[in-house]
Structure 1
Amino acid sequence: MRVEHLNCAIMRSPFVGPLPAHALLIHTDEGLVLVDTGYGTADYADPKRRLGPVRALLRPEKDERHTALRQLEAAGYSAADVT
């Protein structure tokens, strides 16, 4: 088993320094397991509707490459590879 750290968002709140949204990608003999706390592709596509007023507080960077899905794809995996 191998555990990989992913950063699925960077938030730039005016009250604290940059904050990551931690996620874990766990490689097991049975496949990949994703423990995700970041923003998804739908959140980046429509942040006003999906995140509401909290986006003004957290001020996430708008970069879809941070999503777990895009990081999986960049590593050669697909969403279907996650169990």
Structure 2
Amino acid sequence: MNKPFRKRFDSVKLTKEEAERQGKAATLAWKAFPEPGAAVAFMNEHDDALGGRPIDLVVASEEGLRAVEQAIAARQA
């Protein structure tokens, strides 16, 4: 007997607030760094000045989002 297909979700699910912060930061990064791969690299690589990966910081807190927003603004100047 075949079991019906069920999609498994093994990854961590973000809360609504976490997803909103992540989306906002990603959009800012894509606008600030339009070169292919630049926004993805910025969001996913460890940043010494921020003390972590920007994507992790924005998901973790509103303060992390503000810090990442400031870092993006500083790199555009």
TM-score range, shorter chain: under 0.3
Structure with the bigger percentage of strand: 1
TM-score (norm 2): 0.21
Over alpha carbons, which structure has the higher Rg? 2
Structure with the bigger percentage of helix: 2
